[in-house]
Structure 1
Amino acid sequence: MTHEFLRVAAGVPRLKPADYLHNADQIIAMMRKASKRGVDIIAFPHMAIMGSTCGDLRFDQRYNEGVTLGLAGVLALTRSLPIVGIVGVPLRVGDCIREAAVVFQSGRILGAVVNGGLGERFPTTNVQIAGVPFNVGSDLRFRCKTFTFAVTLGDDLFRPVSTSAQCAAEGASVLFHLDAMPTQVGRHDALRDVVREHSRRCIAGLVYVSAGHGESSTDHFFDGEAFIADRGRIVAESEPFSADEQLLISEVDLAALSHDRFRSPYFTGRNPFAPQAQRSLLDTIPFEVHTDDSPLRRTIPPHPFVPEDATARDRRCRETFRIQSHALAERLRHIGLRRAVIGISGGLDSTLALMVTVAAFDLLKLPREGIIGVTMPGFGTSDRTHDNALALMASEGITLREISIRAACEQHFRDIGHDGSPDTTYENVQARERTQILMDLANMEGALVVGTGDLSELALGWCTFNGDHMSMYGVNAGVPKTLVGAVVRWLARRTKHPETRRALTDIADTPISPELLPPSPDGAHTQQTERTLGPYELHDFFLYRFMRFGDSPRRLLFLAEQAFGGRYTRVELLGVLRTFLRRFFAQQFKRNCMPDGPAIGSISLSPRGAWTMPSDASSALWLCAVEEMEKAMKEGEK
């Protein structure tokens, strides 16, 4: 286990029916491979010691002797391995042969879970194999310091009320399911959906493994289906119809899983399985897993708000834009206004807000002339952004207004005794002057001021308090910067207007800047946001992991290194992480009075229930962790 990621595996060996020597050798070899790769727990298919297609042979005495010999061989030859193994066997319990999953580690049987059948509970009892006693029952759970896992068999996942779901409700966070399901047309997709949805509903990790090549093809064919799912996401899956053995390895994010359960009312003790949860403590078997700092095998998306897959990305952009435009249309409909005012700078955020407003007016069948786009050039406005703003407004057919803020700002500098030198006051005067113009113009026109600030800026407080921080409805408040850029590019690809496409494409390619400081003598920007704050892709990554899963600074660094694969040094990552944490805590006062705006995804900073936090919360605990990592890094370099 590394950084609270549990490494799990599904092993699909190439078996021979009733040949325990061959099958045991296959299982042992796969366990050795998995252990070398740092796997903590590996599961094999249902009845893997002898094969699942032996039929009535399982009642034969010699057959059962083979089961005992095969299992004893596996235990003996994996004694030196720390890995936990789960293998399906037919097990004699009293006078009955029960389908079971034997759980073992370092040559010792921890326990065996039997298939109790629909609605049947098999009480825990003690049996022996080769003179070794262990517990057998349908209610066994296996407990480590940080998590509990449970094992189910057969058709359990397909039952209306599954034992697996009950195990999750009672506290098991990782579920293993051993099966022997033959292949049929369409079954792969159906099974994949079942596994994914079951892990989502149970807020659990799920390892599913079924019998594969080598099983008898007398009446069926088995292609070795195997999946590893984590809270509704398939993180690894087997290759259908592979003639070779398959060793599927990935990780379950235990920290994220626990975080999701903490926030779910169903897993906070108020659920109908609470009495069973107390009872099941009697059937809980302890075990240990080793920890290390090895790299993850699963992919950590570097851009969690923007899918890598083109089809999924287009769908995300379309849904985002629809939520924004329909939310704004509903707000205009509710308050009865037929006009809107929006400041257009030629940057990403105001561009997206304008396109959302146009779509909202089209939905309401209102004339686009009712949208008053105002460009307000100031001391740092570049020709590129100014020209793009004018071109976009003209192409979309809205009412265009240009109001320079230079004279008003210079007068204000004189009024307050400021010498006009570039500093924080110099920048904020411009932002507040623009907001005043928009608000006063909206009052005069009977219009709604549409806000343009995005989720990333709200997280970092990268806005002027009571300046661009304020509007009458913030359509971008739930959209992070990386997604804003993706949506603008998506709009550029789908528009039918060449001038709109040209403007949107160039705006997306323009470096992000508030353009509040004068340009250099050669006309170049002297103020680029990402040079000051660090890359937005890093801030959005930290924002997502911090808010969605409550990751600690140490995990944030580890996951960023995994996600970005060497694109940034550890020094750069820690620098941006420090900036993110410092600003996120310090700027809460701005978020506590932010205007209304629609949530887009699972991350929202609205103080009205989405994210509650005192403005004076201390960041010392988190920044101290960053300092410790920086100190450790420097000491390691000596």
Structure 2
Amino acid sequence: MSTLRIYSAQINPRVGDFAGNCQQLLAAVEAAREAGADLLLTPELVLSGYPPEDLLLRPALQQRVQEQLAVLAAQVTDMTLVVGYPVVRDGQLYNAAGVLQEGRWTHEYHKQCLPNDQVFDEKRYFTPGEESLVIKVQGIQLGIMICEDLWHPQPAERAQAAGAEALLVLNASPWHQDKHWQRVELASKRCQPLKLPLVYCNLVGGQDELLFDGASFAVDAQGELQVAAPALKQAGMLVELQQETQGVSLQAGEQANWPDPLAYLYQALVLGLGDYVNKSGFKGVVLGMSGGIDSALSAAIAVDALGKDRVQGVMLPYHYTSSMSLEDAEEEARLLDIDYQVYPIAPMVDSFMTGLEQTFAGTQRDTTEENLQARCRGTLLMALSNKLGLMVLSTGNKSEVAVGYCTLYGDMVGGYNAIKDVYKTLVFQLADWRNQQGRVIPQRVIDRPPSAELAPDQKDEDSLPPYSVLDKLLEGYIEQDKSAADLLAEGFSEEDVRRVIGLVDRNEYKRYQAAPGTRVTYRGFGKDRRYPLVNHWPVF
């Protein structure tokens, strides 16, 4: 009876950093050696990082890939490596998995199924592979697959037909809520009819809007989860396969406890922001703290991602800023122990209004004056960013971004938005959850009615349906592509349906210019939802 020990490495690469990613692979090799592994399994395209997008079109791509493959071959001669990388063969670009054995690259698999929906556009770059690959390690036949291959039955069936006794799957699978359990269910569904065990290795870390959560796992031939790696951090997972009379069995191993949904979401937001700031090379972040819940949650996420010394909070009060907001913003800064400054914007706003007085004569006060306040705040934040080298953190939630309840070049200013894909109702839940781990948000911030405070006694729900209604409408329209008729049939009022859909459609131009943010829902704004800026699609 032969035994094969597989070490799956959840690696957090930097896109385009071939040499740096290679060093991470070599560190994983050392960890695999210490674990007594025979084979190291790595994520999809780990050598280039994922998604490399149009970097794949650069002429130097092939040279940089080959240089690092040579480094790996020279330094790893004592175990089998299965490594993901892009490669050009006969003039065609492939999403590949190479096999390194005894210091030689002996086999190469090309991904057969290329995703081309939601955030994926692999058909823009890659040619689909046509051949299965089965390799023998420690007497066990292993079928190699890459990510999307698992979502279709044919690649696994072909691998079994080619002699595979177990499946190894390299992945760069972006996370959204509940995605980790969907992967396990899919792997179980794929394994049960074939009676093959499966080892799933996933990327971890943030890349622009995408968040990869790791959460690698292994299921046995009956589709039962037997081993699970931690979520949302770099880690290794040891899996043992045994060759027995009845076939190959996967032994039960360590199963990390994956967080509950709110904890998972919060930690994903922390990882996404931290990686964006750190991989981009910023010293830290600066954000406007209004005394409201969105900026409060954003500040907490920033501190958890970067540490208190890399976060600066700024209160930018005007005439309509309540004493409550001033007190609450200061209290949160104290609870988070961050640098906190107050810069009144009345002199700037008044200067603009004086300069525009003649032009505005005879007109009624409207959102123009409100937006001017927000834009003065945005200008001041960008000045601090330029002078101090800190990235501005935008703080608008998904509900606001969806309906355009935000000011272009005002509160939308920023390099990144940690809560861009988080609905307002979920913002409240996350704030409560974070306080349960240790109070960092004043309770009054969570309890008080949300307000932009751009006019006297202003409340969000003066301009919008209640968030409990708004968020359900938005989820149906944005993420599930439900029509107005579908939403009416679910009991929403025609007034709310017309109003909300109209707002969503009219404000595409704002979202087009918004800061990126971590995608955590099934369909986020950005890579995931591409609508024309100018269109006349009817509501009904």
TM value normalised by structure 1: 0.43
Please give the per-residue CA displacement for 1:419-453, whole angstroms capped at 9, x wherever unaligned: 69641111000000001110001111111111101
Separation (CA, whole Å) in 1 of partners of 2:301 and 2:473: 27
Change beyond 3 A, Cα 1:422–1:199: farther
**Structure 2 equivalent of residue 38 of structure 1:** none
SS at match of 2:393: strand
**Alignment correspondent of 1:618:** 536
8 Å contact kept, 1:352–1:484: yes
The DSSP-based 3-state class of the residue aligned with 1:533 is: coil
Q: Is the 8 A contact 2:303 2:310 kept in 1?
A: no
Q: Aligned pair 1:446/2:364, yes or no?
A: no
Distance 1:316 1:460 in 2: 26
Residue of structure 1 aligned with 2:353, choices 388, 406, 413: 413
Q: Which amino acid aligns with 1:449?
A: V
Written as runs of structure 1 = structure 2, the 5 A alignment for 1:331-342 is 331-342=276-287
Rate the CA distance shift 1:603–1:443 in 2: closer, same or farther, 3 A. Answer: same
1:355 counterpart letter in structure 2 = A
Q: 1:383 to 1:201 in 2, by over 3 A?
A: farther
State the alpha-carbon separation in 2 of the partners of residues 460 and 587 from structure 1: 6
Is 2:287 the counterpart of 1:355? no
What are the within-5 Å matches in structure 2 for residues 330-409 of structure 1? 330-362=275-307, 368-409=308-349
Write the letter of the residue equivalent to 2:405.
Answer: W
Q: Which runs of structure 2 are paired with 1:465-504 in the superposition (5 Å)? A: 465-495=408-438, 497=439, 500=440, 503=442
Question: SS state of the match for residue 400, structure 1?
Answer: strand
Q: How far apart, in 2, do the equivalents of 1:459 and 1:201 lie?
A: 36
Separation of aligned partners in 2, 1:324 and 1:348: 16
Q: 2:454 corresponds to which residue? A: 516
Cα RMSD of the aligned pairs, angstroms, is 2.8
Give the letter aligned to residue 590 of structure 1: K
Structure 1: distance between partners of 2:353 and 2:260 = 48
Give deviations 1:565-616, integer Å, cap 9, x for gaps.
xxxxx6xx2222111111111000011122221101212011xx21101111
Q: Secondary structure at the match of 2:279?
A: helix
Matched-pair contact (CA < 8 Å) for 1:409–1:430: yes
Alignment partner of 1:588 is 2:531:
no
Question: Percent sequence identity over matched residues?
Answer: 26
The answer for the alignment partner of 2:476 in structure 1 is 545
Please say if residues 539 and 577 of structure 1, whose CA atoms lie closer than 8 Å, have aligned partners that are also in contact: no
**Partner residue, 1:455:** 398
Which of the numbers 364, 379, 382 marks the counterpart of 1:436?
379
Gaps of 5+ in 1: 1-164, 167-192, 203-313, 363-367, 519-524, 562-569, 626-638
Query: In terms of Rg, which structure is larger?
Result: 1
What secondary structure does 1:395 align onto?
helix
Give the distance between the partners of 1:382 and 1:444, measured in 2 at CA: 29
Residues 458 and 477, structure 1, Cα contact 8 Å, conserved in 2: yes
Quick check: 1:456–1:480 contact (8 Å CA) kept in 2? yes
Write the deviation string for residues 369-397 of structure 1: whole angstroms up to 9, x where unpaired. 33210001112111112211010001211
SS state of the match for residue 489, structure 1?
A: helix
Aligned equivalents of 1:317 and 1:448: distance in 2? 27
The one of 604, 607, 613 aligned to 2:524: 604
Q: 1:346 to 1:421 in 2, by over 3 A?
A: farther
2:277 maps to amino acid: L
Measure, in 2, the Cα distance between the counterparts of 1:476 and 1:576. Answer: 24
SS at 2:312 equivalent: strand
Separation in structure 2 between the aligned mates of residue 422 and residue 349 of structure 1, nearest angstrom: 27
Q: 1:427 to 1:488 in 2, by over 3 A?
A: same
Closer, same or farther: CA 421–402 of 1 in aligned 2, 3 Å: farther
Deviation, 1:509, is 0.8
Q: CA deviation at 1:558?
A: 2.1
Q: What whole-Å deviation, never above 9, does each CA across 1:537-565 have from its counterpart, x for those lacking one?
A: 22211111122222121211222x3xxxx
Paired residue type of 1:613: Y
User: How many aligned residue pairs are there?
Assistant: 294
TM-score when normalising by structure 2: 0.51
AA matched with 2:452: P
CA separation of 1:434/1:200 partners in 2, compared to 1, >3 Å: closer, same or farther? farther
Partner SS, residue 450 of structure 1? strand
CA distance in 2, matches of 1:392, 1:549: 36
Q: In 1, are the aligned partners of 2:477 and 2:501 still within 8 Å (CA)?
A: no
Q: Tell whether the 8 Å contact from 1:339 to 1:445 is kept in structure 2 after alignment.
A: no
**Contact preservation (8 Å) 1:585, 1:618:** no
